Every structure is written in C-alpha cells, then in structure tokens.
Amino acid sequence: MGEALALEHLVARGFRPIDRNVRTRYGEIDLIGEMDGCLVFVEVRTRRGTAFGTGRESVTGRKQARLRRLAAAYLARSGRGEVPVRFDVVEVTFAGGAAAIVHLAGAF
C-alpha cells in the first residue's frame, strides 16, 4: 500500500517509472525511474506512526551502502552506462486513517 502511494506521489511530480521491486543478489530496489535528468533509485519506508522513529531514520548507513551496491548491480545489468544517479527516500506514514507522504530527494 505504501509503495503504491509513494509511486503515485512521485509520478504526480514528474517521476517517470522504469521498474519496480527489482531484485539483485544484494536485495531489492523498491522503485527506479527518471526524474530531473537523473536515474533515481527510491527506497520507500512505510510506518504506522512515528513511535519507533521515522522512515528516514530507518535508512541507516548500512542500508545506504546496500542500496548503492544494488544500484551498481542494476546499472551493470541494464547496460545504462554512465548516467547521473540519485538516491531518494519516500516516507509514507499512516495516522488516523490518512497517509502523510514525504519525498526526500537526494537523501544520501
């Protein structure tokens, strides 16, 4: 649910989706697309409230390193070559029956 809302939010702001839930030997990339002249790798973090921290807080240095490895594997496999890349985080927080969406472009 959170990933679908995140994608809808991004598309409304000019994101052009290329792929979704891409698996490599390092794990999974939630969303891949083009935006603002960059190939964008998006990590979607869905939460039910912030009692245990925000979505952005859950993207630790270790998680960031893993996402970079995932992106490198994807780029090698796709043959896209030298393209500018960006790593974004989208937080989807459900509270009181509504979803709050925060897009952190260039999060790391």
Greater model confidence, 95 or 18 = 18
Q: For residues 108 and 97, what is the distance between their CA atoms, to the nearest angstrom?
A: 30
Q: For residues 101 and 46, what is the distance between their CA atoms, to the nearest angstrom?
A: 9
What is the token pair recorded at 2?
């959170």
Contact by Cβ (8 Å): 40, 85: yes
- Chain position carrying tokens 């496999």: 77
**Statement: residue 95 has pLDDT above 90:** no
Q: Report DSSP state, residue 99.
A: E
Q: For residues 80 and 25, what is the distance between their CA atoms, to the nearest angstrom?
A: 19
pLDDT digits (tens, 9 = 90+) for 49-58: 777 778 788 8
pLDDT digits (tens, 9 = 90+) for 54-73: 878 889 999 999 999 999 99
Say what the pTM is: 0.92
Q: For residues 43 and 88, what is the distance between their CA atoms, to the nearest angstrom?
A: 6
Let me know the angle formed at the C-alpha of 64 by 12 and 1, rounded to the nearest 5 degrees. Answer: 40
Spell out the domains of the chain, with CATH numbers in brackets. 2-104 (3.40.1350.10)
